[in-house]
Amino acid sequence: MADSPVKVNNPNNAPAGPSPEEQKKMEAAYSQMKRKMAISEMGKSIKHKIMVLSGKGGVGKSTVATGLALSLAQQGLKVGLLDIDITGPNVPKMMGLSGRRLNVESGRIHPAQGHLGVKVISMAFLLEDEDTPVVWRGPIKLGAIQQFIGDVEWGELDYLIIDFPPGTSDEPLTVTQNLPDIDGMVIVTTPQEVALLDSRKSITFANSLKVDVIGVIENMSGYTVRGKAPSGTEIELAAPGGKTIRVTSDGDGNWSGTLDIFKSGGGQKTAVEFGVPFLGKLPFDPGFVRGGDDGVHRIVSEPEGPSSQAFSEIVAKIQSKVESGSSSGGLEII
Amino acid sequence: MDLPELKRLERRDLDMLLSWSDGTEHKITYDDLRHACPCARCAPQRNDEESSKILRRTVENLPQEKPTVRPVGNYALAFEWKNGCSAGIHRFERIWRLGEKQDPDNGKAYVHGAW
């Protein structure tokens, strides 16, 4: 703690200064106070803070969080992406930042810069290698999250997107308790019933913490198959659930049909049921898988493609909601 | 009912005055507040009448002081005291019930591990 004002002062014949244990406690208290001040500053320097959650794993939450950050950055906004998934951090890989190390200066952590200038902080930056697991109990995770919130030099940001591990446990609870002025939560789900069941828990969790639910995104919603056939050809596609989809090729011989691999419409149904906005559907796009593996997100590799378009439409709804959101005026404590 | 928003909290020597968005005003003594601490150490003591009385006597014997009040997210307040327990996170629903002179635990016994 080089910049701590707390010094041991115990020369010969002088009154005894603090013991090493007391010194340690004082330094910890000083460090905690500095962190609290930094966290309260974040309320001013970061305009909007959005949490991205899902009840269930494997619904593409990190892909969505990364996509939201990149889509906002496409507009020229200053964006940060905080990967709070301590035990399974994979945002750096999707942002082409694998193997990066964090830069620490004067006790402040400086984020790495990914595609489109998005600033990224992730536990992955602290791991020796990708195969090293993080085996931490709750209180240690809590300390790491507080550091990621309070000790990072984000600078001025328009948006901070926070990606969480699945579920409603320590991580989102710690962030909602520590980060001031959170705009709200975006809940990511896939259309099938199991994912929806868990998404409902996420919405209830948000309500319980008095955090606004910005809306529900249905990911992996429909896979569009495309092909060519002589103009006017009728094509039958065997769709999931024993259904048959009939499509006809157009004048140029192009045809397409959308297969609802994980069903469809569940996200919207859940949003309606809980009275929260439905932000939109993201198509099942194998390009996300390739892009994630290669470190080039679909929005970067194909900025005009259908997936980028779907993200832009969702982001527009999020912006409209959070930028028009009225502040409650706060609580006066005297 | 939808809980009104807490707009103002005035700390006085022995109690605090609370003003809510629907115009309701509450006065809660620090002794009542500290006896209602929802932390894992204090809360189970209210499960039993005798231990609840002991907890009450303990908080009443603490030196009188004004707490530091810290908002916890959008849903709760934490009260930090120089003496005694500061661990509890008081949800606004609990604070409202205390103001209304109702059981802050809403009749539910505390179970360790339950949030």
**Of A242, A259, A276, which one is at a domain's C-terminal end?**
A259
Please indicate, yes or no, whether residues A255 and A282 belong to a single structural domain of this protein.
no
- Looking at residue B112, what is its pLDDT? 67
Given a contact cutoff of 8 angstroms between Cβ atoms, the answer to whether A278 and A268 are in contact is yes
pLDDT-wise least confident of A14-28, A119-133, A186-200? A14-28
Cβ contacts of A184 within 8 Å, gap of 6 or more:
A50, A51, A206, A211, A212, A213, A214, A321, A322, A325
Range of the domain at A246: 223-259
Q: For chain A, give the longest Cα–Cα distance.
A: 101
ipTM for the complex? 0.79
Contact A331/B92, CB-based, under 8 Å? no
Residues A114 and A54 in one domain: yes
* CB contacts, 8 Å: B72 with chain A: 177
CA distance B47 to B114: 14
* Phi, psi angles (nearest 5°) of residue A223: -110, 120
Is the Cβ of A3 closer than 8 Å to some Cβ of chain B?
Answer: no
A193 and A296 within one domain: yes
Indicate whether A238 and A203 sit together in one domain: no
CA distances, A167 to each of A2, A57, A58, A195, B99 (Å):
39, 8, 11, 11, 34
**Tens of pLDDT along A144-164?**
888 888 888 888 899 999 998
What CATH number is associated with residue A189? 3.40.50.300
User: Is the same domain home to A272 and A168?
Assistant: yes
Question: Does A277 share its domain with A290?
Answer: yes
| Interatomic CA distance for residues A277 and A272, integer angstroms | 7
Chain B residues closer than 8 Å to A182 by CB: 73-74
Write the pLDDT tens digit of every residue in A79-135: 999 998 877 788 888 888 887 877 888 778 889 988 888 999 988 887 777 677 777
Asked whether the beta carbons of residue A209 and residue B75 sit closer than 8 angstroms, the reply is yes
In a domain, A330, yes or no: no
Contacts of A211 in chain B (CB under 8 A): 73-75
CB contact under 8 A, A211 and B9: no
Q: Running DSSP on this structure, what letter comes out for residue B47?
A: G
Write out pLDDT tens, residues A221-280. Answer: 777 888 888 888 888 888 777 888 888 888 888 888 887 777 777 778 888 888 888 998
Q: Which residues of A touch B6 (CB under 8 A)?
A: 331
Q: Is A112 left (phi over 0), alpha (psi -120 to 50) or beta?
A: beta
Q: Within this chain, do residues A240 and A252 fall inside the same structural domain, yes or no? A: yes
* DSSP calls for A11-54: -TTSPP---HHHHHHHHHHHHHHHHHHHHHHHHHHEEEEEEEE-
A110 Cβ contact partners less than 8 Å away, ≥ 6 residues apart: A102, A103, A104, A152, A153
Number of domains in chain A: 2
Residue of chain A with shortest Cα separation from B70: A333
Mean pLDDT: which of A132-141, A165-174, B48-57 is highest?
A: B48-57
Q: Are A118 and A80 in contact (CB under 8 A)?
A: yes
Question: Among all chains, which residue has been given the structure tokens 């868990």?
Answer: A198
Beta strand A184-189 with A46-53: parallel, antiparallel or unpaired? parallel
Asked if A156 and A272 sit in the same domain, the reply is yes
Which residue in the block uniquely carries the two structure tokens 């507040």? B33
Residues A245 and A269 in one domain: no
Give the Cα-Cα-Cα angle A116, A117, A119 (nearest 5 degrees): 130
Beta bridge partners of B26: B18
A233 and A269 fall within a common domain: no
* Cα–Cα distance, A268 to A215 (Å, whole number): 10
Query: What's residue A106's pLDDT?
Result: 78
Domains of chain B: 6-99 (3.30.2020.30)
In a domain, A1, yes or no: no
Residue numbers of B between 58 and 97 with CB closer than 8 Å to A: 69, 71-75, 89, 92
Whether residue A176 and residue B71 make contact (CB cut-off 8 A), yes or no, is no
Q: Do A182 and B73 touch (CB under 8 A)?
A: yes
- H or E element: which one contains A79? strand A79-83
The strand pair at A254-259 and A108-110 is best described as unpaired
Tell me the mean pLDDT in the region A68-87.
Answer: 89
